[in-house]
Structure 1
Amino acid sequence: MAGVVNYVKESFGELKNNVTWPTWPEAQNLTVLVAVFSIIFSLLIWGIDSVFSEVIAFYFKWING
């Protein structure tokens, strides 16, 4: 149990002293950037899924006559 407590204390020390945190405006800009790319990526995946869905439906319709 002492090992876990020591690990948590050292982790907080690392976060407090050695991590360079972004400024608030930088964090906001990066958040917007991640949101935009997430939306673009999800629309791309949705489009590819829709095309494959249509191709598979056409294939099975063609197979069954």
Structure 2
Amino acid sequence: MKITNYISEAFTELKDNVTWPEWAEVQRLTIIVAVFSLIFAMITFGIDRGFEVLVAKLYAFLKN
């Protein structure tokens, strides 16, 4: 009984007391998050690729 009461109260709280953003704002913020995620992924890929090249050159240098 406690679990069903908790879930019921949670839904009531979400429905009555939470201020939800407008759909246009949700779309705008989603695009912003997606763009920054892509930028962060490209930066991470670039750094990873740079270290890969650096380590390969270091191993080649040490091998000779």
TM-score, normalised relative to structure 1: 0.88
Quote the residue 1:60 is aligned against.
59
1:12 correspondence with 2:14: no
Gaps of 5+ in 2: none
Instruction: State percent identity of aligned pairs.
Output: 45
1:59 deviation in Å?
Answer: 1.1
Which amino acid counterpart does residue 57 of structure 1 have in structure 2?
A
Counterpart of 1:22 in structure 2 is 21
Distance 2:62 2:2 in 1: 63
Structure 1 spans left out of the alignment, 5+ residues = none
- Residue 49 of structure 1 is matched in structure 2 by 48
Length-normalised TM-score, structure 2: 0.89
- Equivalent residues, number: 64
Question: Separation in 2 of the partners of 1:6 and 1:54?
Answer: 58
Moved over 4 A (4+): none
